[in-house]
Amino acid sequence: MEKFKISLISYLNSRPFLYGLENSPIKKEIQLFLDIPAKTAVKMAHNLVDAGLVPVGALPELSEYRIVSDFCIGADGPVRTVVLASEVPVDQVETILMDYQSRSTVLLVRVLAHYFWNREFRWENTCDHFETESIHGTSAGIVIGDRVFHIERRYRYIYDLSEEWNKYTGLPFVFAVWATRKSLPENFLLKFNDALALGISGIPEVEKSEQHLYPEVDIYDYFTRNISYLLDDRKKEGMRLFLELSKKLPAISK
């Protein structure tokens, strides 16, 4: 039997999903790929996977899609691992270094800059290790994922981007949703959603297996206070507003 190809974001915040998928009967029906967010978006756009945890900012690039789960990667307040790091306050920043791992978060910073911070910046691309080598002076960097744990005490100014969004809109932010561009069997999707629910209920087990890899991070606190996994109505409202504002952004200047 041919297995369904599933792209899962490789960061700590998605470990509960990984736990659920690997500890439910659906494991026999899927082939899992662990990818950075930008790669998941590309795979979805080119139909290289059947479903994936897709960055919300990449959804408009898909000709069509369907959200297929009650769960997401979201936050209602500080998320901790999606930040703008800088040596100076944001009103003194001149250049934004764009994290190559997430176009969606770059889009979030552009929305914040245009609608809420009332700032214009130069925008520069990045590569590996930019988060420790290139952020200095008036150049700030967008940093996402587990790398934030290693740099959050390195820079004087760490702007939590979910917290910034919440401060101005009063809404949660959704970073990624489970989506497909294909017509998948409904019984498979029901089992898939059940597996994700199993993963969320298994957070204590995930903590036991992962905590030694993050000795300076209380990962149970991170899973339960920073990350919010249920795709509820308020998150959907926040997602709709973000996509609406994104459409109206002016072209990026470099």
Assess whether 121 and 162 both reside in one domain.
yes
How many domains does the chain fold into? 2
Assess whether 231 and 121 both reside in one domain.
no
Assess whether 71 and 187 both reside in one domain.
yes
Q: Which pair of tokens denotes residue 94?
A: 């001149």
Predicted confidence pLDDT, tens digits, the chain (254 residues):
789 999 999 999 999 999 999 999 999 999 999 999 989 989 999 999 999 999 999 999 898 999 999 999 999 999 999 999 999 999 999 999 999 998 899 999 999 999 999 999 999 999 999 999 999 999 999 999 999 999 999 999 999 999 999 999 999 999 999 999 999 999 999 999 999 999 999 999 999 999 999 999 999 999 999 999 999 999 999 999 999 999 999 877 64
Assess whether 178 and 161 both reside in one domain.
no
Decide which of 169, 186, 205 is a domain's last residue: 169
CATH number of the domain at 59, please: 3.40.190.10
Domain range for 45:
4-76+172-240
Decide which of 152, 169, 186 is a domain's last residue: 169
Decide which of 169, 188, 210 is a domain's last residue: 169
Assess whether 117 and 155 both reside in one domain.
yes
Tally of residues, the chain: 254
Find tokens 């899927």 and name the residue: 30
Report yes or no on 246 lying in a domain. no
Give CA separation, 52 vs 16, 58, 68, in Å: 15, 12, 10
Angle at 74 between CA 147 and CA 189, to 5 degrees: 110
pTM: 0.94
Assess whether 71 and 97 both reside in one domain.
no
Assess whether 12 and 124 both reside in one domain.
no
Assess whether 62 and 90 both reside in one domain.
no
- Of the candidates 76, 62, 60, 82, the one whose C-alpha atom is nearest the C-alpha of residue 13 is 82
Assess whether 138 and 13 both reside in one domain.
no
Report yes or no on 127 lying in a domain. yes
Report yes or no on 37 lying in a domain. yes
